[in-house]
Amino acid sequence: MSVRSVGAARLLTLAAALGIAAAPIAAEAQEVNLYSARHYDTDRELYDAFTRATGTRVRLIEGDADQLIERIRNEGANSPADVLITVDAARLWRAQQAGILAPLRSQVLESRVPAAFRDPEGHWFGFSKRARVIMYDKSRGLPQGLARYEDLAGESLRRTICVRAANQVYNISLAGAMLAANGPAATESWARGLVANMARPPQGGDTPQIQAVAAGQCRIAIANTYYLARLAASSNAAERAVAEKIGVLFPNQGDRGTHVNISGAGIVRTAPNRAAALAFLEYLASPAAQALFANGNFEYPVVAGVAIHPALAAYGQFKEDQLNAATYGANGPQALQIMQRAGWR
């Protein structure tokens, strides 16, 4: 059956099988234009599964998040974009501030996506999670007294930490969460202490920080969980060997919980295929799509009851910080200023 021959009733029947599409998809809405800043090959299966279930083709345009946001702004009312999907709440906040996302109400999304992982006004919803944790050299053990993010500023950790640059969005969001928890003065003091404890100037992505710990260049690293799980499940023996050397500490288990960031999406304000866009977002919150997030890129599902990849499960369960992602996203600009003022380059 061709895409054009799939009518509205068929779309709704197939969508209902996945538990998606609160609003009917018009027969003529046979595509959804997705602007994506997620650069994972495994996401293609997410889109193909949606097409198989609904007959609606996903037209994909990939790029850097900030560039896609600016592109949508420049395209204005003529933009073909229906959905923007990206990583990190700070980028979703930027898109919201740019005025390119439409608020929406969806019983499906609001019931499946926990409140902490969606915009209170419905501009965007999180569909996968990644914890930003402390990783350490198992052969040397976890440094004594290290249990919270705040402890990373302690003098006992001088020249032991590897971490990415301050302007990397994962670090901006972490600092934004610290700002919400402790206020600006304490956050700046923390940032100064962390800078003093760096084993080397910030460089590279999360994976090089993990590799540096395994190589003995630093004792601990700050990184997202999915990078380590990816190494652990790699077909490359050398990468698996790196992962085997690394232990994971989920910080702040005795108080607010570990900082968790999201990958999320929203409907573009000028979306030409709004009904199909809503169906697509609701599909991303379906058990089938959540399983693809979990197994395709070693991310934590946002929907309860979906199993995580064994490589990720090996690190154990943990308490998550329930701070709304919109809060630390909005705190990003001030957090970056604090980090840079503290000497975090």
CB neighbour class for 183 (10 Å; exposed up to 12, middle 13-18, buried from 19): exposed
The 10 Å Cβ neighbour count of residue 209 is: 24
Which residue ranges form the domains of the chain, and what is each CATH number?
A: 3-129+262-309 (3.40.190.10), 130-259+314-341 (3.40.190.10)
Give the C-alpha separation, 340 to 328, whole Å: 17
Q: Please give the chain's pLDDT, 345 residues, in tens.
A: 333 333 344 345 445 545 554 444 444 458 999 999 998 878 999 999 999 999 999 999 999 999 999 999 999 999 999 999 999 999 999 999 999 999 999 999 999 999 999 999 999 999 999 999 999 999 999 999 999 999 999 999 999 999 999 999 999 999 999 999 999 999 999 999 999 999 999 999 999 999 999 999 999 999 999 999 999 999 999 999 999 999 999 999 999 999 999 999 999 999 999 999 999 999 999 999 999 999 989 999 999 999 999 999 999 999 999 999 999 999 999 999 999 999 999
Is-contact 342 195, C-beta < 8 A?
A: yes
Burial class from Cβ neighbours inside 10 Å (0-12, 13-18, 19+) for residue 144 reads exposed
Residue pair 285/118 in contact by the 8 Å Cβ criterion = no
How many CB atoms are located within 10 Å of the residue 114 CB? Answer: 16
Q: Which sign, positive or negative, has the C-alpha torsion 296, 257, 143, 341?
A: positive
